[in-house]
Amino acid sequence: MDKESYRHELKFICSETELQLIENRIKHLCRRDSHAGPDGIYCIKSLYFDTYGDSCLMENLAGVDNRHKYRIRTYNDSTDVIKLERKSSLRGLKRKEACLITKKQCEQIINGTDVEEITEEQEVLKEFLLEQKLTLLMPKVIVEYRRTPYVYPIGNVRITFDRDITSSDCRDFFDKEIPRRCVMPHYKHILEVKYDEILPSAILELINSSFDLQRTSFSKYALCREYSIQ
């Protein structure tokens, strides 16, 4: 199981011009994420779950402390790697726990049928299935975007540029032609900075010198729920 400790997570809404200028500076400090393609980009597709009464969404909008939500995530429309993730928030910090699942298990989860062949390593899946029974977790919205990731080794810093965020309904998670709806103006995107305990001064100075960036509590899930196709 992939399990991270709680980390800091800073988010900023930026224009395309701002992102390009920041990225040009970042290139001199950070290396590209090895998981990105030749162009330095990969596409993320996430299916988010919530309770019948949308408790995850309500807690997110209210800023409730000590909350979590589940999502299934794929990359570049491939089924080779499918992750079930639990994203937790506590006192402004974030943690992500994940396990790999098969396409068959993914379809069983989405359809609400019994999930077969669960392994010992799939601890997040076991806990999800228990919560699914107790709170009626169900698929709510698909979130997609293009991510350009960079990493900085000191402080375990990860900087990502997320563009073209869209939402779609949950008819078929593996349908590549499912209708999508843009949830932000085409010139607005998201800059995220994630780090462990201390943000290195080189990165901090770069952010502070990049226009007048203002932190936001932006939630892709909450925004895409608002604009999801009904």
State both tokens at 143: 């979130």
Report the relative pairing of strands 8-15 and 31-32 from DSSP bridges: unpaired
Round to whole Å and give the CA distance between 180 and 212.
31
CATH number of 2-226: 3.20.100.30
Residue 32 in 3-state DSSP?
strand
The whole-number pLDDT of residue 3 equals 59
Where residue 126 falls among pLDDT bands split at 50, 70, 90?
very high
Contact 228, 141 (CB under 8 A): yes
Q: Is residue 229 predicted with pLDDT exceeding 80?
A: no
- For the chain, what are the domain ranges? 2-226
What distances in angstroms separate CA 205 from CA 21, 22, 200, 209, one per listed residue? 14, 12, 9, 6
- Of the candidates 179, 189, 137, the one whose C-alpha atom is nearest the C-alpha of residue 21 is 189
Of all residues in the chain, the percent with pLDDT exceeding 70 is 96
The pair phi, psi for residue 60, each rounded to 5°, is: -65, -50
Segment 201-226, tens digit of pLDDT: 988 888 777 667 778 888 999 999 98
Segment 27-37, tens digit of pLDDT: 888 999 888 88
